[in-house]
Amino acid sequence: MLTVNQLEKRRQVAGVFIVLGLVIEALCLILSTPIAFVIFVAIGGLSMFIGIVLYLYSLVSNLRAPV
């Protein structure tokens, strides 16, 4: 059975958010409508921001764990 510790799980969730943001931004680059820019900045940027924050939080919270 595969075992995944908390750090790996948090990094996977952060990675999913970052990849989702990149996919949304890539799809918006194909479109040439004004609403595509709004989606590009709002949804894609927010998703990437959440992924980066979760990743950094997973690193910081791991430092506080007892050694």
3-state helix, strand, coil in the chain (%, to 5): 80, 0, 20
Q: Hey, how many other C-beta atoms are within 10 angstroms of the C-beta on 37? A: 13
Indicate if the pLDDT at residue 52 is higher than 50: yes
Q: For the chain, what percent of residues have pLDDT higher than 90?
A: 21
Q: State the helix-helix crossing angle for 6-30 and 45-63, rounded to 10 degrees.
A: 160
What are the pLDDT digits (tens) for 28-51?
888 778 887 787 788 888 999 999
The type of residue at 56 is L
Indicate if the pLDDT at residue 10 is higher than 70: yes
**Using an 8 Å Cβ cutoff, are 2 and 57 in contact?**
no
**DSSP per-residue string spanning 30-43:** H--SHHHHHHIIII
What are the pLDDT digits (tens) for 11-20?
899 999 999 9
